[in-house]
Structure 1
Amino acid sequence: MKPTVVVIGAGSAGLAAAAALLERGVRSVVLEQGDRVATSWRQRHEDLRLNTIRWLSGLPGLAIPRHAGRWVSRDDYIAYLERYALEQALDIRFGVRAQRLNPNARGWQVDTDSGVYEAAHVVVATGNDRVAWQPDLPGLAAFGRPVMHVAQLRRAADLAGKRVLLIGAGNSAVEIAGHLVDHAVAELWMSVRRPPNILPRQLWGIPLHPATVALRYLPEGLRDRLAQAISRHVFGDLSRYGLPTATDGPFRRMRTSGVTAAIDQGFVDHLAAGRLRIVADVDHLTADEAVLRDGTRVEPDVIVTATGYRSGLTDLLGPLDVLDQHQRPRTGKGREALPGLWLTGFWPAIEGNLRQHGREAGRIADGITTSRCRSAGPPSRPTSLRRQSPTPDSQHQPLRSSL
Structure 2
Amino acid sequence: MGSCKKTVGNHPNLLFVHGPIIVGAGPSGLSVSACLKNNGVPSLILERSDCLASLWHQRTYDRLKLHLPKHLCELPLFGFPENFPKYPTKHQFLSYINSYAAHFSIVPRFKQEVKRAEFDSKIGFWRVQTQDCEYISKWIVVATGENAEPMIPEIAGIERFEGDLVHASGYCRGSDFGNKRVLVVGCGNSGMEVSLDLCSHNAIPYLVVRNTVHILPKDMFGFSTFGIAVSLLKWLPLRLVDKFLLLMAQFTLGNTDKLGLRRPKTGPIELKNATGKTPVLDVGTLSQIKSGKIKVMEGVKEITRNGAKFMDGQEKEF
Mapped pair 1:147 → 2:165: yes
Q: Unaligned regions of 5+ residues in structure 2, if any?
A: 2-16
Please point out which of 69, 79, 95 is paired with 2:95.
79
Look up the equivalent residue of 1:10 and give its one-letter code: A
Mapped pair 1:3 → 2:18: yes
Instruction: Provide the C-alpha distance between the structure 2 equivalents of 1:272 and 1:231, rounded to a whole number of angstroms.
Output: 15
Mapped pair 1:38 → 2:56: no
Please point out which of 203, 209, 233 is paired with 2:226.
209
Instruction: Provide the C-alpha distance between the structure 2 equivalents of 1:130 and 1:77, rounded to a whole number of angstroms.
Output: 18
Aligned to 1:363: none
Instruction: Provide the C-alpha distance between the structure 1 equivalents of 2:153 and 2:202, rounded to a whole number of angstroms.
Output: 26
Please point out which of 188, 208, 211 is paired with 1:194.
211
Please point out which of 60, 67, 75 is paired with 1:59.
75
Mapped pair 1:224 → 2:242: yes
Q: 1:66 Cα deviation (Å)? A: 2.4
Instruction: Provide the C-alpha distance between the structure 2 equivalents of 1:69 and 1:281, rounded to a whole number of angstroms.
Output: 38
Q: 1:194 Cα deviation (Å)? A: 1.0
1:323-367 CA-to-partner distances (Å, cap 9, x unmatched) read xxxxxxxxxxxxxxxxxxxxxxxxxxxxxxxxxxxxxxxxxxxxx
Aligned to 1:395: none
Instruction: Provide the C-alpha distance between the structure 1 equivalents of 2:100 and 2:227, rounded to a whole number of angstroms.
Output: 23
Partner of 1:210: helix, strand, or coil?
helix
How is 1:1-150 mapped onto 2 (pairs within 5 angstroms)? 1=1, 2-42=17-57, 43-104=59-120, 105-150=123-168
Instruction: Provide the C-alpha distance between the structure 2 equivalents of 1:45 and 1:116, rounded to a whole number of angstroms.
Output: 35
Q: 1:245 Cα deviation (Å)? A: 3.4
1:98-144 CA-to-partner distances (Å, cap 9, x unmatched) read 11111012321110112100111011101010001001111112121
Aligned-residue identity in percent: 27
Aligned to 2:12: none
Mapped pair 1:290 → 2:301: no
Look up the equivalent residue of 1:85 and give its one-letter code: A
Q: 1:280 Cα deviation (Å)? A: 1.4
TM-score when normalising by structure 2: 0.90
Partner of 1:82: helix, strand, or coil?
helix
Tell me if structure 2 keeps the 8 A contact 1:270–1:276. yes
CA RMSD of aligned residues (A): 1.4
Look up the equivalent residue of 1:3 and give its one-letter code: H
Instruction: Provide the C-alpha distance between the structure 1 equivalents of 2:100 and 2:25, rounded to a whole number of angstroms.
Output: 11
Count of residues in Structure 1 that have an aligned counterpart in Structure 2 = 299
Q: 1:27 Cα deviation (Å)? A: 1.0
Instruction: Provide the C-alpha distance between the structure 1 equivalents of 2:175 and 2:104, rounded to a whole number of angstroms.
Output: 37
Tell me if structure 1 keeps the 8 A contact 2:63–2:89. yes
Tell me if structure 1 keeps the 8 A contact 2:208–2:300. yes
Tell me if structure 2 keeps the 8 A contact 1:169–1:195. no
Tell me if structure 1 keeps the 8 A contact 2:260–2:298. no
Q: 1:296 Cα deviation (Å)? A: 1.1
TM-score when normalising by structure 1: 0.72
Look up the equivalent residue of 1:291 and give its one-letter code: K
